[in-house]
Amino acid sequence: MTSRRNRRRRERRRKGAGTKVVQFVVAGVIVVGGIFGVGRLREEAHFAATDDKHCFVNAPTPARAVLVVDVTDPLAATQDRMVRTTVDRLVDDLPDGGLLMATSITGEAPDQLGLIVETCRPKRDSNRNRALYDEEFVAPLNSAVDALAQQGEAPASPILETLLAAANDPALQSGEGPTTIVVMSDYMQYSRIANFYSDRPALPPPVGEPFTGLTVRMHVFRNASHADRQAAAADAFVRWLVEAGATVEYTPPAWMALQRRELLELVHAD
């Protein structure tokens, strides 16, 4: 009898110890899960913090895009549409928190970039955010494009100087992710650096490689009065940018390709 009671006591103690171990493990899992869950929520809140431009406060900017629009000649209706379409594509390509900057090429060579837009793309993950997105992001962009279309003719066209100011802007020198400069111009440089209207289109060699790590995407505005010189002008910018370290994305527009074919036909005819 005594031995039987002892065996029952030992079995109860073993079961009790096993139950306590299971309870301890379950409690540990709950505590650890809670810690990780709270940590994740804190991390998300940490990285979701934004400033008044919708840019991340406690996280690197995931991407940057700079739109450079040549307004040294008034924008034609087709060029205005090109700008608006390009802005829409830039916005679509930007991740949440991506920085969008816009500037214009005017008659004066800038020492530093004069921005007409500097904002980050906010989230659109709720109806409230969508309303803020339209009010605080889309509306200012549309106003900026409207202002570009109202610019008058300028006495000079410092295209290269403006691109250098963009490349040297401090906002492009920090953060992670890709940086793209989108240029919309006729590429008819006219300043103390070069005069593409009277001289053969050529630019002085770059000093160093100030565009290293930058992608430059070139779009061409047709200059009706000097369209015959624009292919050489754009080619001069492509060569200079590559020498300056940039990755250049450039496809000549259809009218320029047709113009080149006609020129080659004339050369061969002679």
Transcribe 205-246 into DSSP letters. PPSS-TTTT-EEEEEE---TTSHHHHHHHHHHHHHHHHHTTP
- 113 φ/ψ angles, rounded to the nearest 5 degrees: -70, 125
Mean pLDDT (the chain) is 81
Does position 237 have pLDDT exceeding 90, yes or no? yes
- One DSSP character per residue, 157-181 reads B-HHHHHHHHHT-GGGSSSSS-EEE
User: How many angstroms separate the CA atoms of 229 and 200, rounded?
Assistant: 9
Which residue type does 17 have? A
- Give the model confidence (pLDDT) of 169-223 as tens digits: 988 876 678 999 999 999 999 999 999 998 889 999 999 999 999 999 999 999 9
238: Cα separation from own chain's centroid: 20
**What pLDDT, on the 0 to 100 scale, is given for residue 199?**
80
- Do 219 and 183 form a contact (C-beta atoms < 8 A)? yes
Choice between 81 and 24, residue whose per-residue pLDDT is larger? 81
Q: Which of 84-88, 131-135, 138-142 has the lowest mean pLDDT?
A: 131-135
50 in helix, strand or coil? strand
How do residues 145-165 score in pLDDT, each as one tens digit? Answer: 888 877 778 999 999 999 999
Backbone angles phi, psi at 216, to 5 degrees: -115, 120
- This prediction's pTM: 0.77
Max mean pLDDT range (36-40, 222-226, 240-244): 240-244
Q: What local confidence, expressed as pLDDT, does residue 142 receive?
A: 87
Give the C-alpha separation, 92 to 117, whole Å.
17
pLDDT at residue 62 is higher than 50: yes
Q: Which pLDDT does position 54 carry in this prediction?
A: 84
pLDDT at 262 over 70: no
User: Which is more confident, 176 or 100?
Assistant: 100
What pLDDT digit, counting tens, does each position of 7-59 carry?
Answer: 555 555 555 555 544 454 444 444 444 444 434 433 343 346 788 888 888 88
Given a cut of 90, whether residue 232 has pLDDT beyond it is yes
Rounded CA-CA distance 239/220 in Å is 16
User: Are 134 and 143 within 8 A, CB to CB?
Assistant: no
213: left (phi over 0), alpha (psi -120 to 50) or beta: left
Confidence band (pLDDT; 50, 70, 90) for 144? confident
Phi, psi of 68 (to 5 degrees): -120, 115
Percent of the chain residues past pLDDT 90, beyond the cut: 48
Report how far residue 62's alpha carbon sits from residue 178's, in angstroms, rounded to the nearest whole number: 8
